[in-house]
Structure 1
């Protein structure tokens, strides 16, 4: 830590948790409730979700490279965080207004137009969310990371998505309610992010060690990150990023459709769905505590291997043992579904906690912002472009239904979890090579 004062330490950790949790709540809402919003308000068609994933991933990637370069050159993270969070919240609220564009008289034309508006609004929201969270907040965390606090920070960054998922799913279900009031959800979450952006503007400090890093003109520095020859020198980081890409291709194959699977295929209400996810993930959260010491002892590869195995077991349980015929949508007590969510949650938490610390330790000190941009290619862009190419045709083939009015609907079925299981096992390949490179350096 760069300050000896107790007050400064408390302030640092308050920002770690407040900004981190707010960001994860907002990302959870996009990853989970935006997709159920589309099914509830626009059309039950995974193609719209696929386009949302791909276009928002591209917007996120452009944002991380652009603002990563700006952040490194200016030597500041605070401004990006504050402005990014404020705009993130504003466009989250504006996203919700797209439901009012529906034209009841001309349904087909209306769906096409509203789908375009939804995709565009999601992309703009993601652009500013990436500015504030992916680049600003993550680079700020990296500036403060030391060997002494890396395990605790890694645990915090891994726990936050789970808390965000638990709180976002339960709170989201309560806010959406039985009347499908999605606007209420977007106003509450978006408003909270705006307030925290304002709070960071007045109370946050950049790390004392942070310096501006100017390497030629802006364009020279911006495009220097695309120097493949230079990037290939970081062999261990390459394989760590490949692990990230393969794992999150699997994750996006099933998670983007998990809410619609539980609500529209299994028959749960939004609030019950939230409780089922919440119970499993709340238990999973405690696995990060023993993992902290193992990460500090250099056992990252072992933790990730265990995470992949546990994750794959969870996907198999849901894929093979959960169906509309053996669940009771009126209660959260559905042992097979709870067990599947628990195992998937444990695997996800351990993987994200460990790989976050592993990758950040490998960043060049003078290019941390831009290397966060490279991370986003593997963490967001590749998974969100590739995953729909797997999940969309699977849903179209296995989940085609005709509703009572004769309209064709496409509901996610167990098949997406089996596909996720197959893909997640492939993560072991880059893990093997990353561990070999790590051993060569020690």
Structure 2
């Protein structure tokens, strides 16, 4: 395999990672705010007391979505590996993913009342909540088929140990750009400039267009191994075999680090944008001190991230532990923040650690996966990266918010809002990331990867 990626490969990597990021960020950020600010909005205190709390609904939606994602990735990832095809899963999956996303624009309490003939406000709100949750699961099925299983396998297929850190860095920054793009458009939906219907339909159709485009731009990668007559159901549970776990111990240690890191992230992330909108930026005043602090924070974030990714490009050891330490420190700082300036100060180390760990852990997992069985491990990866974190993390965050019991008044009704305690709980979980990382470092697990990278760089120079 060539150590340099072609322009066409880069186009597809950037295009599908960006549009996948648009769809996932739309789900991870705005389905939560849609539930909180639209579905629950206007309900009386009596009705709110008769249905699940907003933070609980968000927690349940995230957990059920995670379960759907993992089951889907197991099934579709194994199927993709068995038939040695990626393109059809990516293209068709993205096309349907966008259509399902657009359908959220039609979920309203008014439509629920008309379709089911309800007049009772409790029933209407309950059905609206569960309609969002169930449709989110269907959307997750399409996203996990096209992105989590097929696209992730495709990226591993077309990259090498020397190109993966670059690709993972690109994927991370494209993820940030897609998040900012979604937030930029989504802010108009949040403040009522455009309706959520226009928001969901517009972005959904863009994702669908990407899937159709993939039919012409994507090429099947050279997947190692031939089609086999192995039992599909046996392949489905391949990664659970004790012999496989023992043989790939480094992979499972890396996945353990991924799991703990993502649990810490999911403790606060599902509630983050509600917290920012309802608490941090509710009465924001952009004075000189705030602007200067924000600029310095962003500069430190960029400089720190670039430096750690650079030193960790050839040797991951040099970035793992500092990134974890910064992530923990930043979360502790955010847990004590009482104003927007302190939030900006805490964001820098948190974001540096978040980005670098995401890039390096993802690259490490790709490096440790047996290259002739990439698809068979995508479900296992999802258990650690999605299922456990998105089931456990939001529950911890919900508990943290309920313990703090911070509320705001909206239309004369008291509503529970996320609080800084979620960052403290996340920091405690993040400390545990050191355990599998230290074990991997003591085993010198990254030495072989570092050697491969050095050899590939030498080949490029020749």
**TM-score under structure 1 length normalisation:** 0.88
Whether 1:345 and 2:351 are equivalent positions in the alignment is yes
Moved more, 420-429 or 302-311: 302-311
Q: Give the Cα–Cα distance (whole angstroms) in 2 for the partners of residues 386 and 407 of structure 1.
A: 29
**Counterpart residue number, 2:149:** 135
Q: Secondary structure at the match of 2:336?
A: helix
Alpha-carbon distance in structure 2 between the residues aligned to 1:371 and 1:18: 24
* Counterpart selection for 1:51 from 41, 46, 60: 60
**Are 2:57 and 1:60 equivalent residues in the alignment?**
no
CA gap 1:193/1:116 in 2 versus in 1, 3 angstroms: same
* Native 8 Å contact 1:72 1:366 kept in 2: no
> What are the superposed Cα offsets for residues 275-305 of structure 1, whole Å, 9 maximum, x if unpaired?
999996787456554444433422x233121
Q: Distance in 1 between matches of 2:325 and 2:81?
A: 38
In the alignment, is the contact (CA less than 8 A) between 1:72 and 1:214 conserved in 2?
A: no
Residue range with higher mean Cα deviation, 349-358 or 147-156: 147-156
Pick the aligned partner of 2:415 from 405, 409, 412: 409
Asked whether 1:315 is paired with 2:331, we answer yes
1:19 equivalent to 2:16? Answer: yes
Question: Whole-Å Cα distance in 2 between the matches of residues 3 and 422 of structure 1?
Answer: 40
Distance apart, 1:96 and its partner CA: 3.1
| Residues 370 and 96 of structure 1: CA distance in aligned 2, closer, same or farther (over 3 Å) | farther
**Cα deviations by residue, 1:331-381 (Å, 9 ceiling, x for unpaired):** xxx432222223222111100111111110011122101212211100000
Q: Distance in 2 between matches of 1:197 and 1:284?
A: 33
Rounded Cα–Cα distance in structure 1 between residues aligned with 2:213 and 2:148: 18
Give the 3 Å change call, closer, same or farther, for CA 118–72 of structure 1 in structure 2. same
SS in 2 for 1:367: coil
Structure 1, unpaired ranges of 5+:
327-333
Does residue 354 (structure 1) correspond to residue 360 (structure 2)? The answer is yes
Higher alpha-carbon deviation: 375-384 or 89-98? 89-98
Deviations 1:59-118 (A, max 9, x none): 100111111111111111111100111111111111232224454953222221111111
Change (3 A) 1:178 1:290: same
- In structure 1, distance between residues paired with 2:302 and 2:209: 27
In structure 1, the partner of 2:173 is 159
Describe how 1:138-287 pairs up with structure 2 within 5 A.
Answer: 138-179=152-193, 181-214=195-228, 216-268=230-282, 284=301, 287=304
Q: Which residue of 2 aligns with 1:301?
A: 317
Shift of 1:406: 5.9
Please give the alpha-carbon distance, in whole angstroms, between the structure 2 residues aligned to 1:12 and 1:292.
22
Distance 1:52 1:441, change over 3 A: same
Structure 1 counterpart SS, 2:107: helix
Q: Given that residues 89 and 145 in structure 2 are in contact (C-alpha distance below 8 angstroms), is that contact kept between their aligned partners in structure 1?
A: yes
Equivalent position of 1:425 in the other structure = 431
Offset of residue 175 of structure 1: 4.6
Do 2:235 and 2:376's aligned partners in 1 also have CA atoms closer than 8 Å? no
- In the other structure, the counterpart of 2:386 is 380
TM-score by length of 2: 0.84
Q: Distance in 1 between matches of 2:341 and 2:244?
A: 50
Unaligned runs of 5+ residues in structure 2 are: 41-52, 449-462
Cα distance in 1, alignment partners of residues 352 and 424 from structure 2: 18
Taking the aligned partners of 1:52 and 1:172, their CA distance within structure 2 comes to: 20
Q: Which one is further off, 345-354 or 300-309?
A: 300-309
Aligned-pair CA distance for 1:400: 4.8
For residues 436 and 286 of structure 1, do their structure 2 counterparts lie closer, same or farther at Cα, with a shift above 3 Å needed? same
Change (3 A) 1:281 1:53: farther
Q: Which moved more, 1:308-317 or 1:84-93?
A: 308-317
Q: Which moved more, 1:215-224 or 1:97-106?
A: 97-106
DSSP 3-state at the match of 1:366: coil
Query: In structure 1, what is the Cα distance between the partners aligned to 2:295 and 2:70?
Result: 30
**Cα-to-partner distance string for 1:130-163 (whole Å, 9 max, x where unaligned):** 1111111111110011133122112112222222
What is the CA–CA distance in structure 1 between the aligned matches of 2:280 and 2:3, rounded to whole Å?
52
RMSD value, Cα: 2.8
1:85 aligns with 2:94: yes
CA gap of 1:405–1:196, structure 2 versus 1, over 3 A, is closer
Q: Please, which of 108, 124, 139 is the counterpart of residue 138 of structure 2?
A: 124
The total of aligned residue pairs comes to 425
1:377-427 CA deviation, whole Å, 9 max, x = no partner?
000000011112211122223235374666442110111111111111111
Matches of 2:298 and 2:262, distance apart in 1: 18
Q: Which residue of 1 aligns with 2:49?
A: none
Aligned to 1:97: 106
Question: Which residue in the other structure is 1:329 paired with?
Answer: none
Residue 336 of structure 1, aligned match among 333, 338, 342: 342
Given that 1:162 and 1:282 are in contact with CA atoms closer than 8 Å, whether structure 2 keeps it comes out as no
Q: Which has the larger radius of gyration?
A: 2
